Amino acid sequence: MLNLTILRTVTRQSGTEAEVIEMTKQRRTMEISDVLSTMTLKTGSDEKTKRLDELLVNVVDETLKQIFKETGAKVIYDYFENNSHLKREEIAEKPEVFSFGLQRLLGSAAPVIEKLILKNLYSRLGLNFSERKGYEFSDYVKELRKGAIGKG
């Protein structure tokens, strides 16, 4: 169960948003779709997906910079563009390509970095990340995006 304390609501062209100042979870783990539906009170699924995609790209960026610093992250993005034809902004739309490129570039370190990205992403969404047998990076991303679309 999710308990929210709403500070105020703001009406914008994109819809009505609630500023949440307190969010607590009780014993059961929240479903991804529950969290995504609390991101905004009234927006279309395209807007939710866009926000989730932006969040994922930001989390990837922050995580890579945390591990490899600014210069190393730039080298990784350049590698993706030159070898996988993947732009930074496309990571959420093409998680398989991102994962494959990371594997080619970093080898056995790639799954560790993917897991750290996912932990950081789930944390930013207020979720607990738990590994699932047979799931890959792209599976988690697709599940999150599907939740964003399904709650339009």
Query: Residue 126: which CATH number?
Result: 1.10.1200.200
Q: What is the mean pLDDT of residues 80-85?
A: 95
Domain count, the chain: 1
On whether residue 17 sits in a domain, the answer given is: no
Higher per-residue confidence, 24 vs 78: 78
Q: What is the pLDDT of residue 44?
A: 57
On whether residue 143 sits in a domain, the answer given is: yes
| This model's pTM is above 0.75 | no
Percent over 90 (pLDDT), the chain? 62
Is the pLDDT confidence value at 59 over 70? yes
Is the pLDDT confidence value at 56 over 80? yes
Is the pLDDT confidence value at 36 over 80? no
On whether residue 11 sits in a domain, the answer given is: no
On whether residue 6 sits in a domain, the answer given is: no
On whether residue 52 sits in a domain, the answer given is: yes
On whether residue 1 sits in a domain, the answer given is: no
On whether residue 13 sits in a domain, the answer given is: no
Q: Kindly report the CA angle at 52 between 115 and 11, in degrees rounded to 5?
A: 150
Nearest-angstrom CA–CA distance, 137 and 98 = 9
On whether residue 21 sits in a domain, the answer given is: no
Domain that holds residue 123: 31-150
